Amino acid sequence: MSVISNLLTFIRFSHTLFALPFALGAMVVASHGWPACPLFLQILACMVLARTAAMSFNRIVDWEIDQRNPRTVLRHQLVSKSIAIFLCGSSALFFVGVTALINHLCFVLSPVALGVIFFYSLTKRFTPFAQFFLGLALAVAPVGAWIAVRGCIDFPVLVLAAGVLCWVAGFDIIYATQDVEVDQKEHLYSMVVWLGIPSALRLARWLHLLLFVALIGFGMMTQQHSVYYYVLLPVPFLLFYEHRIATTANIDQINRAFFHVNILVGFLFFLATIIS
């Protein structure tokens, strides 16, 4: 059990809960209800496999950097680099295999999806827009679930994906305030390093406003019931709380807000689609 626990900690498996509700919400809306059990399990498998591959790849390419960062130095005592490489490769192969079982478009686009989620891990070496590339990587999730159900890409899910991109970029800017000194020392790029903490946090607030606009727009375009909007009412207040915590510079509080608030945001969206 300790080996499995180490693997789950190594890839931060609990953070799968960030993108998963948006993928499942898109799935529910695309299928006008709950899809058949085999398709649901295939979508769930794709989510877990893609994220496992992406996080393993991130750990591999940042291996030396993470060992010099006090916040991340313990990660690499959990799993060897060879196991990380195997985990990344096997997860990616299984991901492509599962997409082949879903439909042709999912299979054709699976290498593109992997390319997007892998590319994020390299971006902080050359662009301050790394947080936006992380947002793009997670925005793939609802689009993939939509394609799995409908076999095509429709405009409403692109609006939802844009909202997810803004949401992730915003909360990762907050999270990156913990690493600003290490990033400067390692000559790595981020919005926080580029703009400074106060300006970066202001940008994060605007990005989270755009998330809420996108959620409302998605609901209108897919003709959700009025209950959808009522369920989403706590979202701006949760995000406001997250930003209030971010100004305290208390690392423990930021980490708690980062995890719990954003889990709740995703859960509320999923709940809104289910009830609607």
CA 237 to chain centre: 21
Which residues have a Cβ under 8 Å from the Cβ of 189 and sit 6 or more positions away? 123, 124, 125, 126, 127, 128, 130, 183
Mean per-residue pLDDT for 6-25?
77
Give the model's pLDDT for residue 19. Answer: 87
Give the model's pLDDT for residue 167. Answer: 96
269 pLDDT above the threshold of 60: yes
Which of 96-110, 225-239, 247-261 has the weakest average pLDDT? 247-261
Report residue 17's pLDDT band, with 50, 70 and 90 as the boundaries.
Answer: confident
Nearest to 6 by CA among 83, 118, 66: 83
Integer-rounded Cα Rg, in Å, for the chain is 18
Mean per-residue pLDDT for 151-166?
97
Q: Render pLDDT for 119-130 as a digit per residue (tens, 0 to 9).
A: 999 999 899 999
d(CA 161, CA 110): 17
Domains in the chain, number: 1
Q: Render pLDDT for 58-111 as a digit per residue (tens, 0 to 9).
A: 888 887 776 676 666 666 666 778 888 999 999 999 999 999 999 999 999 999
Q: Quick one: CA dihedral 183, 189, 193, 199, positive or negative?
A: negative
Q: Running DSSP on this structure, what letter comes out for residue 190? A: -
Q: Render pLDDT for 163-219 as a digit per residue (tens, 0 to 9).
A: 999 999 999 998 888 778 877 887 788 888 899 888 999 999 999 999 999 999 999
Which of 76-85, 136-145, 151-160 has the weakest average pLDDT? 76-85
Token look-up 């999270």 returns: 175
CATH number of the domain to which 171 belongs: 1.10.357.140
Which of 39-53, 157-171, 174-188, 214-228 has the weakest average pLDDT? 174-188
d(CA 90, CA 87): 5
Give the model's pLDDT for residue 3. Answer: 64
Give the model's pLDDT for residue 76. Answer: 61
43 pLDDT above the threshold of 90: yes
Report residue 112's pLDDT band, with 50, 70 and 90 as the boundaries.
Answer: very high
Q: What is the mean pLDDT of the chain?
A: 89
Give the model's pLDDT for residue 15. Answer: 65
Q: Is 235 helix (H, G, I), strand (E, B) or coil?
A: helix
Give the model's pLDDT for residue 135. Answer: 95
- Amino acid letter at 25? G
Long-range contacts (CB closer than 8 Å, 24 or more residues apart) made by 221-224: 221/155, 221/156, 221/159, 222/29, 222/156, 224/29, 224/272, 224/273, 224/276
Mean per-residue pLDDT for 246-266?
77
Helix (H) or strand (E) holding 261: helix 251-275
Q: Is 69 helix (H, G, I), strand (E, B) or coil?
A: coil
Give the model's pLDDT for residue 77. Answer: 63
Percent of the chain with pLDDT over 70: 87
d(CA 242, CA 28): 28
Q: Which two tokens stand for residue 102?
A: 């879903």
Q: Quick one: CA dihedral 70, 74, 80, 86, positive or negative?
A: negative
Nearest to 135 by CA among 126, 146, 143, 125: 143
149 pLDDT above the threshold of 90: yes
Query: Which position has the higher pLDDT, 209 or 247?
Result: 209
Q: Which domain holds residue 139?
A: 2-275
CA 192 to chain centre: 19
